[in-house]
Amino acid sequence: MTTRRMFIAGAAGIASSLALASIAQAQTRKTLRFGVGPLLPTADDTKKRFGPFFAWLAKQLGVDYELSATTDWAGMAVAMGSGQLDLAWMGPWGYVIANNSTDCQALATVKYNDQPFYRGIIVGRPDLEVGRFPSDTKGMSISFADVGSTSGWLIPTWYAKEIWKIDPKTFWKYTEGATHAANEVAVQSGQVDLATDFDRNRNAMIAAGVIKPEGTKIVWTSDPLPNDAIVVPRGTSPDLVAHVQHILTALTPQQAATLLPPHYTGFVSATHASYSMIEKAGVAVGKIRAKA
């Protein structure tokens, strides 16, 4: 026969066990370190705009998280390679650099206006007369982005070497290392004649009123390039990879509109092979080694 005292004691024991379980769960709750590259003019801008997405992803995974933003794409590769990140939003070239040295893996590609690709561009002052590119621009000043940028450094460098057959550092008055935003502003303000960028960034800066539509003009456009990658380190559990892929590819455009900056509409699954074009370019310009 169960007495009231026995019931109370038993209930207290259950409550105590539940409390201890909650404490243990809180103590063992995993914290993932997320990273994001310089997608907007400043690191603070990037964290503010992309923070809701990473908070949502952490909630879906049932983990706590820390978010860091770098000021250059090469920094993302270094962070991933040195074990500082568990998952990162990386530019295509930054990802390929990191993969080449650490074997980290892409698991998804972001969609922009429902497309998993974008294009590199070179913009010029609106008063420039450019009938043939690059021949009509010889001797002009040009600003390339930092060497970790796909569209701002790797692809125009590759085109120069393999297609245009020129050395950009002698063909133009050449500088490198700027952000994409700084490149657009430099051209609009007349500090340089030409600069590298990508179509998504230029459109976003125009939409935000940072540059005027007529402040720069596009004088060259690349072939399609794979969009940014969601990347995890080598050794990440295949189950976790599949789980993250499922979460990301299930994101609807309506959800993306509340979690990501304008025009980002979701994700598609990806593997390293999705970035083979970028890897080929990196090998061609001598920045990474060809894998056996």
Q: Are residues 174 and 213 in the same domain?
A: yes
Q: What is the CATH number of the domain that holds 132?
A: 3.40.190.10
Contact 86, 174 (CB under 8 A): no
Q: Are residues 238 and 107 in the same domain?
A: yes
Q: Are residues 212 and 246 in the same domain?
A: no
pLDDT tens across 42-94, in order? Answer: 889 999 999 999 999 999 999 999 999 988 777 787 888 788 999 999 989 98
Is 156 within a domain? yes
Give the pLDDT score at 74.
74
Q: Are residues 131 and 160 in the same domain?
A: yes
Domain that holds residue 150: 117-225
pLDDT tens across 127-177, in order? Answer: 999 999 999 999 999 999 988 889 999 999 999 999 999 999 999 999 999
Q: Are residues 107 and 193 in the same domain?
A: no
Q: pTM, whole model, 2 decimals?
A: 0.80
Q: Are residues 34 and 173 in the same domain?
A: no
CB atoms within 10 A of CB 87: 25
DSSP output for 117-178: EEEEEEEE-TT---SSTTGGGTT-EEEEE-TT-IIIIIHHHHHIIIII---HHHHSEEEEEE
pLDDT tens across 21-37, in order? Answer: 333 333 456 999 999 98
